[in-house]
C-alpha cells in the first residue's frame, strides 16, 4: 500500500508529465479501485493490473518502449504504484487526443463503446465530486 503523500506525488508527477488533470486521475483511481500487486482476470482472457487497472493489452507496447520483456513490464505495471499511475495518465492522454477532448478521453479510458464508456465517465465524475474535486451545477449558483 502506498502512503498518501507518495500517492499524491505520483498523481501530480503523472498529471504534469502527460498533461492531464490530477483530479481526473484521482477519479479514475477511485472508480477502478485496484491495488498495487493486483491482477484481475477479464472475460476476454486479459488482465487488469494494479491501482489504475491497466489492461495487459498495453504490455507489448510498454515493453517495447521500455526495452524490457513483457514479463518485466507486467511486473512493473502491477507492482509499482507510481509506474501504474504514470501508465494510466499516459493512456488517458492518448485516449483524450484520439477522442478530441479529456471529456471523451475519460470514457475511452474504459471503452470506446458508448454504452460502456459514458456510464464509466459518469462514475469518474461522481467520484471526483465526492472527493470535492468537481463542482456540481448546483454548487456553482
Q: What's the confidence (pLDDT) of residue 137? A: 62
For each of the domains in the chain, give its residue range(s) and CATH number, in order of start.
4-131 (1.10.530.10)
Is 139 a residue whose pLDDT tops 60? Answer: no
Per the CB < 8 A criterion, the answer to whether 77 and 59 are in contact is yes
pLDDT tens by residue, 105-126: 999 999 999 999 999 999 999 9
Q: What's the confidence (pLDDT) of residue 141? A: 42
First to last CA, the chain: 39
CA torsion, points 68, 74, 76, 80, in degrees to nearest 10?
A: 170
Amino acid at each position: 500500500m502506498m502512503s498518501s503523500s507518495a500517492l499524491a506525488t505520483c498523481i501530480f508527477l503523472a498529471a504534469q508529465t502527460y498533461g492531464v488533470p490530477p483530479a481526473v486521475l484521482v477519479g479514475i483511481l477511485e472508480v477502478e479501485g485496484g491495488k498495487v500487486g493486483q491482477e484481475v482476470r477479464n472475460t476476454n482472457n486479459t488482465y487488469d493490473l494494479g491501482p489504475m487497472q491497466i489492461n495487459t493489452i498495453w504490455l507489448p507496447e510498454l515493453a517495447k518502449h521500455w526495452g524490457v520483456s513483457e514479463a518485466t513490464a507486467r511486473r512493473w505495471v502491477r507492482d509499482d504504484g507510481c509506474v501504474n499511475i504514470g501508465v494510466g495518465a499516459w493512456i488517458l492522454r492518448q485516449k483524450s487526443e484520439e477522442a478530441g477532448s479529456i471529456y471523451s478521453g475519460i470514457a475511452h479510458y474504459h471503452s470506446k463503446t458508448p454504452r460502456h464508456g459514458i456510464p464509466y465517465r459518469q462514475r469518474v465524475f461522481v467520484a471526483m465530486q465526492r472527493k470535492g474535486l468537481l463542482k456540481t451545477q448546483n454548487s456553482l449558483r
